[in-house]
Every structure is written in structure tokens, then in C-alpha cells.
Amino acid sequence: MTWLEQTLPADHPSVESGGVGVLLVNLGTPDAPDTPSVKRYLAEFLSDRRVVEIPPIVWQPILRGIILNTRPKKSAAAYSKVWSEDGSPLAAITKRQANALQVRLGGTVVVDWAMRYGNPSIDTKLRAMKDAGCERILLAPLYPQYSGATTATVVDKASDTLKGLRWQMSLRTLPPYHDHPAYLDALESDLSAQLAALDFTPEILLLSFHGMPQRTLELGDPYHCHCHKTARLLGERIGRDGMRIMTTFQSRFGPAKWLEPATDTTIEAEAAAGTKRMAVAMPGFSADCLETLEEIAIEGRAQFLKAGGSHFAALSCLNDSKPGMTMLETLITQELAGWIPSLK
């Protein structure tokens, strides 16, 4: 019997402690591909003041009175095109990533996953990890390029959980990894293999990143610069004679000016100008989701072919592929240094 055990009162509650956890976090998803579920999801997502920086007194009447009464039905139809037996692609892939990382790291670390918006929530997962004895948790937002609307809002949400805890865990946050050699190695290996497997040679490869309002760049958000650095470094690795590489931004929303050039207008313009063979990679997405599977692989393809193109390929994200998981293991192990003696 230890000294501590000798001094504890008989009715002292059992407490698990001393553990280390890793929580992988991605953007989010509705619970089902139907209008009510999408409406709940969009209400949470579009009410985040880091996502929409319009003052709430102006924005909320627009959101509640117009957007949430029109957009959910359209978005639900889009989700239904990519939904599977495992549910949302983003949730299913993030779960697989967490499971694969658990196997790679072994039993010395507890690995779990959460969504910033929707379920499973960051709050629920952090509390569960604490109850399981995790006193130190690495929060891992799966966004290679930093933005206030992505990485920062994950940290905000985790901080909200800490505010409600008497006994707080120690948190670390995975830094952005837009230029990390492990990330670039994974992209080079994975995309090179996908390009080699195509039955055509692309004339142009679009590197399409999720868009952000132009105003975020002007306010000092580094996202635009991170995307272009990733694109430049990746292009140096996978560029080949006869294939142009271009950086674009997708998923515009609302009337504000967004980062350009836009992926959809570029797809149409290239086809109209005579480009017949196009591939699109989306290196800013750690897992395939609505924006990659529906917006690019389905709608982008239809747009390109309608405008005169003949061959189109939407390349897969890293997902839980071997290169992708090797990258995640490298990044996570690096950040756990000092917490787990065997991980260096």
C-alpha cells in the first residue's frame, strides 16, 4: 500500500489519472443527409463568429430569416449524393484515421476523434478522455494551413470545455503543418501514384484549397500565404513536363469577395479555352468530404465536360492511406515528445 493510499479516506472517489491522449479534430458534419439535420449543423457552423465575422446584430437575422430557410434543403441533397453506410464521409474517414493512429501509437496513448461542429463534439470527447485518466491531451486540428476560421476555432471550443472543469487537463495544439516535410512527403507519394494511375495525362493540375473571404487576408490571417507555400513546395516535387500547375480556391459562399482565382470559374474557363484533360487535387483537406466528393468530383466534372473538356479526375485526399497515416504518426509523435518517453 502506498503512502497516498494510506492517507485517503475510505469514501474517497476513484480517480483515473496519468494518461496521455490525442484528439483528432475536423470541421464537422450533419448527423444525417436530411434538411433538419443540415439546418442544425449550419446554424452552429454559421453562428461561429470566427467563421462569419459580420456583427451578430446584422448577421443573425440574415442567417435565421433567409439562409437557414433555403440552404439546408439544397445542402441535404448534396450530402445525399456522397453519404454511405458508414455515414458522412468526413466522419467515417476521421474515425478510421483515429483507429489507425491508435494502432500505430500503441497502448501508451489514448486516441480519439471529434468534429468542431456537429457530433461527436469536442466537449464530449475531451470530458470522456479526462474521465479515462488523460491528464495531458494533444489537440490535433487536421488543417494543414492555419486560419482563424479553422484551427483557432477548434482551440476556442476546447478552451470553453476547460472553463467548465475544476480539474483541467494540460493541452497542447498541433501546429499548422503546411510546409512540414512529412506532409509534403505524403502528398508527393500519394498524388504521384494517383497521377501515374490515370488513363490520361493531365494538361493542368489544379491545387484547390478551401476558399476564405478576401477580408481575412487583409486582416492578417496567414491562410492564403500557407496555401500558396504548400502549392509551391508541392509543385516543385510533382511537376512534370507538359502539365501546368495552378492554385485555386473553392467553396465560395455569399456575396463578399473571396480569395481568387475561384476553382469553379477556372474549371469552366480552362475547358472553354481548349483544355481537354484536367486533374484536381485538394491538399488542404485531410479527408474527403462534401467539398471534395460532391463539389469537385461530381459538380466540377460535369462543369468541365459541359464546357468542352474530355477527361477529368478529382484526386483523393490523403485520408487513412499509408502515406497519410505515416504523416500523421510523424506529426503526432513529434508533438508528444516529452510526454511519452518511448515516443521521440
Of all residues in the chain, what percent carry a pLDDT higher than 70?
94
- For residue 145, being part of any structural domain is answered with no
Output the domain CATH number for residue 261. Answer: 3.40.50.1400
Is 129 part of a structural domain of the chain? no
pLDDT reported for residue 48? 97
**Residue 293 · residue 82 · CB < 8 Å:** yes
Q: What are phi and psi of 21, to 5 degrees?
A: -130, 160
Burial class (CB in 10 A: 0-12, 13-18, 19+), 85: exposed
Residue 243 lies in a domain: yes
- Whether the model clears a pTM of 0.85, i.e. scores above it, the answer is yes
3-state DSSP call for residue 78? helix
Q: Are 109 and 307 in contact (CB under 8 A)?
A: no
* Residue 257: its H or E element: none
Please report whether residue 240 resides in a domain.
Answer: yes
Kindly state whether residue 110 falls inside one of the protein's structural domains.
Answer: no
pLDDT digits (tens, 9 = 90+) for 13-72: 665 667 999 999 999 999 999 999 999 999 999 999 999 999 999 999 999 999 999 999
**Residue 6 domain-assigned (yes or no):** no
Please tell me the total count of domains within the chain. Answer: 1
Full residue range of the structural domain in which residue 204 is found: 181-314
Task: With respect to residue 213, please indicate whether it lies within any of the assigned structural domains.
Answer: yes
Q: Is residue 337 included in any domain, yes or no?
A: no
Q: What is the pLDDT of residues 93-124, one digit of tens each?
A: 999 999 999 999 999 999 999 999 999 999 99
